[in-house]
Each structure stands twice: as C-alpha cells, then as structure tokens.
C-alpha cells in the first residue's frame, strides 16, 4: 500500500528526464554573480510600424462583425522538430493580419478583443514579456532565455510599435464563451474572407516579395553550370533560392520545388534530390516570404542548356498561351473560376491538336462527361495569395472559386502541362516533359496587373535571359 508521500510524488516525464540527464549543475559562485555586472540596457520606445494602422482597421472590421463577443486569436506555439529542437516559429496568419506582427512575433502570444459595455472592443496583446537578468529564466531556459536566444521584445516596445495594449500572457484566461480562430467556424471563415481583398500595405509587401523572388531566379541562372555539375543539382537550386530568401526576406514562403527532367511532372516535387541534366527542362516553383510574412509564388520552367528543343518549345508556348488567355479573362466583375476555364480551353485545344485525346477538345471541355485533358493538368489555374501561399483557404466557395474578382485581389495564374515519363497515352517525345508558368496577379479597377511580369515568360525571352546571366564558357 502506498504512503501519502508516495501518492503526492509526480514521476518526471521522459522529456524532463532527458533534459535533467544533460543539465549541468550551476555552482554557487555562478548563481551569486549571474545577475550582476551587466550594463544598463536602454529602454527606447520604437516608432509605430507602418502595418499598425492597417491592422487596427482590420480589428475594427472583426469588432463590427462580432459585437458583444470575446474574440481570441492565438499566435500558436513552437512545434517540435526532433527531441529538444523546434521548427522556426511562424505565427498564425490571422494573428499576423490582425496585429501587424510578422516574423518577430513571439510564440504563445494571444490577441484578445474584449467587448466594451458601450460597444466595440478593447484589444489586448498578451505575450511573454522580456525577462530581466535577475530571473532564473534568463540563463536556465533554452527555449526563451535571452542568454540562449538573444533579446526578446519589451512590453512597452511592442505596445508602441503595434499600437496595442499589452499584458503578460500569464494574465490571459480563456472563457467558455470565447470565439477562437480555428475553433469557431464563423470567425475562422470571416478572418479568411477578410484577406480576399488586400489593402495598399499588403499589396506593397507582395510587390517586395515578388521583387526578391525575381532576384532568386536570377541567382539560379547565374549558377547553372555548378547546378548541372552537382549530382544533386536540384538541391543546389533549392539552396540558392533559400539563400536569397534569407538575405532579402524572412525565408521561403513554402518548400521550393526544384524539379528537373521527369521530376517536373510531379506537381509537388520537394524532395529535390536529383541531377539537373543539360537537355532537360527544370521547373522551379519558389517564392520569398518577406518579414511581414507576405509571400510570392512564382514558377518558371528553364531549359538547362539554355535552349528549348522543338518539342519542349511546343509544350512551353502552349502553356504560355493558356496563361495569357487566363490573364485576359481576369477582369473586375468576372468570376474567379472563369480564369481557370479560359486556361483549360487552350490546354484542351492543344492536346487535342497533338492527337492526345480520344475525343474532341469541345467534348473534353464538357463539365459532366469530359475532362480527358485534365490527365495532363490536374491542378487548378489560380489561387489567392497573401500571408499564406494558398491564402483565404477557409473562405466560402461562393466567395472564392465562384466569387467575383474585385480590385485589390491578388492571385496566381499557373497553367501547366505534365507528361509523365511512363505515360503511354502520349508519344515518346513528350514523355518526361513538365512545364508550368506561374505569375502573381493584382486586380485593379482597370484590369489585371502582372506583378511578376519582369521575370521573362516567353520561350524567346527565357533563352535570352539565360544567355544574358549565365557566364560564358
């Protein structure tokens, strides 16, 4: 029979045991002196961020939509990668949108909109405040201790930058009636649909992301010789783009696809462990995420040796024609799905002309009985873009796929053709060719603007681009 003392003992977890096994004992001299001998750290008040006013307007929209309700938007927590190693932290997109806090946001923070008795809401940002050097946490906590990870933001600094009341996260207490993002369906849907139309700050950030991504593509072309020489050249491509993303932004907005040769026919090839062989095409789908967390999403397909073969050019220009048709169909007031339909009409016509379909192009385009051409392009042509690479994903179908295009929307146009290496429905000369062209499009009152138009698109321009940037032998 257990004693009372034994009942009160809580056995350590596996994680706690592992940490204890590695922990070194601190001597009394260290403990006595660690909090002394530090220079004063000036507590300067930073200026308000440009994003703060826009975030305040977004919170006001949430307040108006949910009067009298307590709204809770968590930033999220660190996620374990392995043992005591975490993935880099990225806050929830709704949290970033409603606070203006981007890549420097603190894990476990919570934005709370408390209803006021006289209407509206009071916004409070709860987060783990800076621990001064007199605390145990400063030197002993490898997750948040400043001795380990560097200075953390102060409450006064965050309040000034974001224009928000701040409080220690320990003071946050969830309530039974809270509306919590990703738990409450109406709130989750609303904050997703809010992002369908971007404000001027968001558009400016997306332009920065596209510009940085363009430099990343240039970096790759300049190093094509080294890429082709390495047995895992796809990894070299991935690394070059990641370097640009870290230099000019926060990181990549999603796992880079560096798909050479037949790998280009796998839509989400992120293994990136193959060679890049002259004579093949390499499909590169990559985007820089800037510090505000807005991301580009761009795809270019390049001939590794600098010149398209006849059949490669034929496929490439068919895809480019489909992209141009989709762009022409994108107008204020048109339906989002019409962009896809315009691209698929071109794709169906070309694969029909090449003798790849068992029916006519018109029959293939029949919504109920057709779809034969989709074997060679199974994905959609467009998706919204912003804080998430597939932004606004919780929006209703009638607001997204069946929604009306409005000025301020930013979306991709990305048709493709993919003839897998073992696809016996196509002639041998097509097998192993995969092409996608993807651009980031801003809708304006006057029509669409291609934000990534400066990155060469036509077959002739791509060849000239490579010739211009690749060092001569």
Per-residue pLDDT, 133: 82
For position 143, what pLDDT does the model report?
82
pLDDT per position as a tens digit, 213-266: 999 999 999 999 999 999 999 999 999 999 999 999 999 999 999 999 999 999
CA–CA distances in Å: residue 368 to residues 29, 93, 351, 372, 415? 79, 37, 19, 11, 21
Residue 97 · residue 387 · CB < 8 Å? yes
Euclidean distance between CA atoms 134 and 347, whole angstroms: 67
Pull the structure tokens for residue 151. 């200075």
Residue ranges, CATH 3.90.230.10, the chain = 197-469
pLDDT tens by residue, 418-443: 999 999 999 999 999 999 999 999 99
Q: Is 119 left (phi over 0), alpha (psi -120 to 50) or beta?
A: left
| CATH architecture of the domain with residue range 197-469 | Alpha-Beta Complex (3.90)
| 258 CB-near residues (< 8 Å, 6+ apart) | 234, 235, 237, 238, 241, 269, 272, 276, 282, 284, 286
How far apart are the C-alpha atoms of 299 and 253, rounded to whole Å?
13
pLDDT at 20: 63
The domain 46-193 is classified under which CATH number: 3.40.109.10, 3.30.420.40, 3.40.350.10, 3.40.50.300? 3.40.350.10
pLDDT of 148: 87
Distance in angstroms (rounded) separating the CA atoms of residues 190 and 61:
10
The span from the CA of 256 to the CA of 213, in Å, is: 11
Q: In what order do the strands lie in the sheet with 179-180?
A: 165-168, 121-127, 110-115, 71-74, 179-180
105-115 residues labelled b (16+ CB within 10 A) or e (exposed): bbbbbbbbbeb
Q: What is the mean pLDDT of the chain?
A: 94
Which residues make Cβ contacts (< 8 Å) with residue 292, sequence separation at least 6? 51, 96, 102, 103, 205
Mean pLDDT, the chain cut into blocks of 10 residues (473 residues total): 43 64 82 90 88 98 98 97 94 98 97 97 93 82 85 91 97 97 98 98 98 98 98 98 98 98 98 98 98 98 98 98 98 98 98 98 97 98 98 97 98 98 98 98 98 98 97 68
3-state secondary structure of 257: strand
d(CA 112, CA 128): 15
Q: Helix 185-193 to helix 50-65 angle, to the nearest 10 degrees? A: 140
The DSSP string of 304-340 is TTSS--HHHHHHHHHHHHHHHHHHHH--TTSBHHHHH
Ranges for all domains in the chain classified under CATH 3.40.350.10: 46-193
Q: Which two tokens stand for residue 403?
A: 């929604």
Contacts for 222 with CB less than 8 Å, ≥ 6 apart: 469, 470, 471
Structure tokens at 69: 């309700």
**Nearest in space to 310 (alpha carbons), one of 255, 358, 251, 354:** 354
Closest by CA to 116, choosing from 68, 81, 165, is 68
- Hunting for tokens 């694969």 — which residue is that? 351
């Amino acid at each position: 029979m257990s004693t009372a003392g034994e009942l009160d003992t809580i056995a350590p977890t596996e994680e706690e045991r592992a940490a204890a096994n590695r922990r070194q004992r601190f001597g009394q001299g260290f403990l006595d002196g660690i909090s002394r001998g530090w220079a004063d750290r000036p507590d300067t008040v930073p200026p308000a961020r440009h994003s703060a006013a826009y975030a305040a307007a977004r919170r006001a929209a949430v307040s108006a939509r949910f009067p009298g309700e307590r709204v809770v938007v968590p930033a999220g927590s660190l996620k374990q990668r392995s043992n005591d190693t975490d993935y880099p932290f990225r806050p929830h997109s709704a949290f970033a949108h409603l606070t203006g806090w981007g890549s420097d946001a603190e894990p476990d923070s919570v934005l709370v909109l408390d209803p006021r008795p006289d209407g509206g809401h009071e916004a409070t940002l709860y987060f783990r405040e800076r621990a001064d050097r007199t605390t145990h946490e400063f030197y002993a906590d490898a997750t948040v201790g400043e001795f380990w990870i560097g200075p953390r933001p102060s409450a006064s600094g965050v309040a000034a930058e974001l224009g928000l009341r701040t409080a220690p996260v320990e003071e946050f207490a969830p309530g039974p009636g809270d509306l919590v993002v990703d738990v409450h369906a109406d709130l989750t849907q609303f904050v997703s649909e809010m992002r369908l139309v971007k404000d001027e700050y968001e558009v400016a950030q997306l332009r920065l992301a596209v510009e940085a991504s363009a430099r990343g593509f240039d970096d790759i072309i300049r190093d094509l010789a080294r890429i082709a020489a390495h047995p895992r050249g796809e990894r070299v491509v991935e690394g070059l783009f990641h370097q640009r993303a870290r230099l000019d932004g926060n990181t990549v907005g999603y796992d880079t696809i560096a798909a050479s040769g037949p790998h280009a026919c796998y839509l989400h090839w992120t293994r990136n462990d193959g060679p890049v062989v002259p004579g093949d095409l390499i499909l590169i789908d990559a985007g820089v995420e800037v510090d505000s967390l807005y991301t580009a999403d761009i795809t270019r397909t390049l001939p590794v040796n600098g010149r398209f073969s006849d059949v490669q050019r034929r496929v490439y220009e068919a895809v480019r024609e489909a992209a141009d048709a989709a762009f022409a169909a994108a107008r204020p007031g048109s339906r989002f799905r019409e962009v896809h339909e315009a691209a698929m009409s071109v794709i169906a016509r070309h694969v029909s002309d090449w003798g790849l379909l068992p029916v006519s192009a018109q029959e293939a385009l029949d919504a109920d009985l057709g779809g034969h051409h989709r074997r060679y392009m199974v994905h959609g042509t467009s998706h919204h873009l912003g804080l998430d690479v597939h932004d606004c994903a919780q929006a209703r179908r009638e607001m997204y796929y069946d929604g009306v295009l409005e000025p301020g929307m930013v979306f991709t146009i990305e048709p493709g053709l993919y003839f897998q290496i073992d696809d016996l429905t196509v002639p041998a000369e097509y097998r192993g060719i995969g092409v996608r062209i993807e651009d980031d499009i801003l809708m304006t009152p006057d029509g669409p603007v291609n934000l990534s138009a400066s990155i060469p698109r036509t077959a002739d321009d791509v060849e000239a681009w490579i010739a211009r940037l690749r060092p001569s032998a």
